[in-house]
Structure 1
Amino acid sequence: MEFFKYKNKLKPEKGRLLISEPFLPDPNFERTVVLLCEHNEEGSFGFVVNKPSILKINEVMEDIRILDDTVFVGGPVQQDTLHFLHRNTSIANAVKIRNEIYWGGDFESLLAQLDTATVKPTDIRFYLGYSGWGQGQLESELQEDSWIVCDFVDDELLFDTDPTVIWKKALDNMGGRFSVYSNYPVDPRLN
């Protein structure tokens, strides 16, 4: 759709969001929000933060019996791997993504903190698989207007917001024309 060109000036980088444009035809990324955990000349990767799966974490990992939280689909790559984002500074070897948002860390440390309730279930999200782009691939998709880069990221959006409204809220947070995009119907023919 030629009228729907929105080139924003932000470049992708660690800690920013990729918000799929309203009519992205790829079913893996329809109305998705991806938190970029790495972006460099070799490629990019992150996690889709708004696509819950039908699985619970205690169904995926026997070691995590005390949680029955939903596991999210992090992306189409290596969906047999489990990852986690959290907002807990005491998990050893965690990688700081942005402000109060961390990726991974020592899994035994996480389990111990879950057992002692020093990590709250609301402070962690689990993801099966991840979203990845090879060298130059994401830049090419940005040139095609497949993604909107967003710098309005906080832990509340990722951990406290209902996943079904993260896409809309992320665009609304950007304001201006992006707020208008957030109200586009999934299928304009039904409008």
Structure 2
Amino acid sequence: MTEVSSLTGRLLVATPVLADPNFDRSVVLLLDHDDEGSLGVVLNRPTPVDVGDILEGWGDLAGEPGVVFQGGPVSLDSALGVGVIPGEEEPSEGSPSRTSSRDPLGFRRVHGAIGLVDLETPPELLAAALGSLRIFAGYAGWGPGQLEREVADGAWYVVESEPGDVSSPVPERLWRAVLRRQRSELAMVATYADDPSLN
């Protein structure tokens, strides 16, 4: 099987032509991408459920808005924590991005300062280290080659992530904000009307 160039840590930004209502105007952070498939979480789908109502002790660590986010259509009954440890530099080319001897217990680095938080860990062990935390119900998943086909078909823009994307205080504006910061014609896509027939 041919090796797949990893998109782990990048953002998938839904193009205006993406018809799947699960991903309309979505911004997905890829947490894992290899030749076996891809897994990510939708960063801009807040729910009305407070984190503290379902995960005792984690509510105080969740950034504003302190609600659970719908991470995607798969396994909606499971919770996934994504956190940022501030001050962490992007690993240099060729260096491992998944582990660091400085990572606190219960944190597994995914890309740069972004990592997965083990929600079985007592929250107080991570409180001092975490700069931000988001809790997601469910995730988005793709089988081998599926995401690559969707990108080739024009369903997604693939762009660099920034640590602040995980904890955007106004997630409803994240789709436009991510597009607007691109140094290409993608910045113009941010001006698309919510109803494509108005363009």
**When the two structures are superposed, what TM-score results if normalisation uses the length of structure 1?**
0.82
Q: In the alignment, is residue 183 of structure 1 matched against residue 195 of structure 2?
A: no
Instruction: State the percentage of identical aligned residues.
Output: 32
Structure 2's unaligned 5+ residue stretches are: 86-101
CA contact (8 A) 2:39 2:139 kept: yes
Task: Report if aligned partners of 1:34, 1:48 keep a CA contact under 8 Å in 2.
Answer: yes
Q: For 1:31, what is the secondary structure of its paired residue?
A: coil
The CA distance in 1 between the partners of 2:185 and 2:59, in whole Å, is: 45
Structure 1 residue identity aligned to 2:70: V
Query: What residue ranges of structure 1 are gaps of 5+ in the alignment?
Result: 1-10
Q: Is residue 149 of structure 1 aligned with residue 161 of structure 2?
A: no
Alignment correspondent of 1:56: 50
Q: Residue by residue, what CA displacement relative to the aligned partner does 1:56-82 show, whole Å, maximum 9, x if unpaired?
A: 112222454646811101000000000
Q: Aligned to 1:136, which of 145, 154, 158? A: 145
Alignment of 1:1-191 (within 5 A): 13-64=7-58, 66=60, 69-88=66-85, 90-105=103-118, 107-109=120-122, 111-113=123-125, 117-118=127-128, 123-151=132-160, 153-190=161-198
SS in 1 for 2:68: strand
* Equivalent position amino acid for 1:127 in 2: F
1:58 and 1:67, CA in 2 relative to 1: closer, same or farther beyond 3 A? farther
* Cα deviations by residue, 1:35-69 (Å, 9 ceiling, x for unpaired): 10111111000111111012111222245464681
- Judging changes above 3 Å, is the alpha-carbon distance between structure 1 residues 156 and 180 closer, same or farther for their aligned structure 2 residues? same
CA distance in 2, matches of 1:67, 1:171: 28
User: Is the 2:61–2:132 Cα contact (8 Å) retained in structure 1?
Assistant: no
Indicate the larger mover: 173-182 or 156-165: 156-165
- 1:178/1:12 CA distance change after superposition, 3 Å: farther
Q: Is the 8 A contact 1:91 1:105 kept in 2?
A: no
Aligned residues: 176
Contact map agreement 1:101 1:155 (CA 8 A) in 2: yes
**Contact map agreement 1:16 1:149 (CA 8 A) in 2:** yes
Whose helix fraction is larger, Structure 1's or Structure 2's? 1
Aligned-pair RMSD on alpha carbons?
Answer: 2.2
For 2:112, the aligned partner's letter is N
